[in-house]
Amino acid sequence: MKDVGIDAVEFRSGKLKLDLPGTFAEVKDEDPAKYTKGLGLHASSFPDAYEDIVTMAANASKRLMDRKGLEPDDIGRIDVATESAFDHSKPVSTYVAGCLEQVYDGDFRHANKGERKFACIAGTQSVDDAVNWIAADKNRGRAAIVISTDTALYERGDSGEATQGAGAVAMLIDEDPDLVTIEPEQGIGSVDETDFLKPNQQFPSVDGKRSMQVYLMRMREALEDYETQVETHPDDFAFIPFHTPFPGMVRKAAPLGYRHVARGTEVEDELAEEIGRQPRPEAFDDDEAYREALKEYTDKLTETERYQEWYSRAIEPTLDISSRVGNWYTSSVHLARLSALKHARENGIDLDHERLLVGSYGSGAQAEIHGETVQPGWEDEIAQLNVDDQLVERYDLSWEEYEQIHDVHNHEESVDVDPLTAPEKEFVFDGWGRMGERKYTYVE
């Protein structure tokens, strides 16, 4: 079977920044630690008045193509994953292709274009689709571009408002990739749920407590399904990128995953000397007593040196970018992967042929677990990204400016706000067409 995976990746943040422990916490009259320590967030990215899901996707894709020396004829597929689409018929990928055709010779006339929707997991599903397309030899030597792009806005005053964010990740999917190969085995956990949804509305309806429970249940089911095909061990994976709506959620999920994969291994045996063995259901008269014992064990587990070393090595590095940009919905797990690889390069960690365990999730609800193998070209690929430059250059919003920009991107509002930044060498939103469609142009 041919090796297929992510050959290259690009990152595009919204150009505005909202300081959470500073500006947001001050206006809300709340302790900044609620955001930095509780949610694990320091800032959110927002799009300027001329930015949206199309411009962020197109700008990430253009940089990806330029960097890899690609022309439209090299691309046989463009897939966009988003839960922020503004058209219920025409896919965002067609808008992106239209943008790119403004700046390249040739066109994407013979490239398949589509849009995936399943909350935050759609980005991973789109990667799966592209990998399968190439593995099935339908690509005729061409690569695929997969883009996850979202503006994750909540209604003003909603409990999720602090987790907002906006940006895009563009990935080149190809044979013999430079970044990671996608392993064929995958585990799925999927059940019809109403934890987070948008029934004919822009802003989500969220049952926060239920959503956390559903996230953990579907992840467990996906891991159990994955383990029917692949043996797992806590030390098998260099990094474990999780779906990260906010880092605090990953902090809650990580010990449950570690406990699960450590069960029945020498890790459990060694930990037993310190905190006892993991509870087994057959030792209890009822489910409630068993679950209480599991909780007590898990609390003890997180205090052990072994767990904390594992968390610092395999999980913490995946959270850095998300802590600085907020929730990007479909890009969430792809930011986690990028954050881990960036950390490894900056700290001289050799990842050649090391493995990642990727845990993706979308409300509604479905989780996917799969493995990836890091390829020898990963370091050169990551070195060409400008993540830190983009984040440092963001315009720092005042509270009044935040309120205005939120209205700009609220589909129910009609406001005319001057941009806070000046576009340069990028695609921008440029008004409305004759049928109510959004129009775009490239600014030199």
* Residue of higher predicted confidence among 247 and 415: 247
State yes or no: pLDDT of 1 exceeds 80. Answer: no
The tens digit of pLDDT for each residue in 146-163 reads 999 999 999 999 989 999
Q: What's the confidence (pLDDT) of residue 212?
A: 87
Give pLDDT, residue 255: 96
Q: What percent of the chain has pLDDT over 90?
A: 95
Count the neighbouring beta carbons within 10 Å of the beta carbon of residue 437. 12
pLDDT (tens digit per residue) in 101-111:
999 999 999 99
DSSP-derived pairing of the beta strands 355-362 and 366-374: antiparallel
Q: What pLDDT sits at residue 413?
A: 84
CA distances from 3 to 179, 182, 375, 376 (A): 12, 8, 10, 13
Which among 363, 112, 305, 337 is positioned nearest to 239, based on CA atoms?
337
Q: Could you confirm whether 83 is annotated as catalytic?
A: yes
Catalytic residue among 51, 120, 334, 343: 120
State residue 206's pLDDT score.
Answer: 87
Q: What is the pLDDT of residue 224?
A: 96
Split at pLDDT 50, 70, 90, the class of 412 is confident
pLDDT-derived band at 411, boundaries 50, 70, 90: confident
381 is catalytic: no
Position 94 scores a pLDDT of 98
What's the chain's average pLDDT? 96
C-alpha closest to that of 79 among 157, 173, 162:
173
Residue 256 reports pLDDT greater than 80: yes
Q: Which helix (H) or strand (E) holds 115?
A: strand 112-116
Cβ neighbours for 237, distance < 8 A, ≥ 6 positions apart: 314, 354, 355, 356, 357, 371
**243, 334, 343, 409: which is the annotated catalytic residue?**
243
pLDDT category of residue 208 using cuts at 50, 70 and 90: confident
Tokens coding 336: 């986690």
Grade residue 214 by pLDDT with cuts at 50, 70 and 90: very high
pLDDT score of 71: 98
Side-chain half-sphere CA neighbours of 143 within 13 A: 24
Residue 248 has pLDDT above 90, yes or no: yes
Helical pair 287-302 and 247-262, crossing angle rounded to 10 deg: 110
Q: What is the pLDDT of residues 48-57, one digit of tens each?
A: 999 999 999 9
Dist. CA 442–CA 422, nearest whole Å: 13
Mean of the pLDDT values across residues 356-378?
97
In DSSP notation, 74-92 reads: GEEEEEEE-S--S-SSS-H
pTM: 0.97
Task: Please give the Cα distance from 35 to 297 (Å, whole number).
Answer: 27
pLDDT at 314 (0 to 100): 98
Predicted local confidence at residue 416, as pLDDT: 85
Model confidence at 232: pLDDT above 90: yes
443 contacts: CB under 8 Å, gap ≥ 6: 423, 424, 425, 426, 427, 428
243 is catalytic: yes
* Active-site pick, 51, 83, 193, 372: 83
Q: Binning pLDDT at 50, 70 and 90, where does residue 296 land?
A: very high
What is the rounded CA–CA span in Å between residue 260 and residue 387?
Answer: 34
pLDDT band at 431, cuts 50/70/90?
very high
* Exposed / middle / buried, residue 231 (Cβ in 10 Å: 0-12, 13-18, 19+): exposed
pLDDT at residue 170 is higher than 90: yes
Q: What is the pLDDT of residue 209?
A: 84
Q: Please determine, for residue 16, whether its predicted confidence score (pLDDT) is greater than 90.
A: yes
Q: Does 6 score more than 90 pLDDT?
A: yes
DSSP state letter for 317: G
The pair of three-digit structure tokens given for residue 434, joined into one six-digit string: 């004759």
pLDDT score at 280? 94
- Tell me the CA distances in angstroms from 167 to 16, 213, 353, 381, one per residue in order: 11, 27, 29, 20
**What dihedral angle (degrees, nearest 10) is formed by the CA atoms of 425, 426, 431, 437?**
140
Structural contact between residues 250 and 244, judged by C-beta atoms closer than 8 angstroms: yes
4-13 and 180-190 strand pairing: antiparallel
Closest CA to 254 of 334, 359, 348: 359
Q: What is the percentage of the chain residues whose pLDDT exceeds 70?
A: 100
State the pLDDT at residue 259.
Answer: 96
**What pLDDT is stored for residue 207 in this prediction?**
85
Residue 274: predicted pLDDT? 96
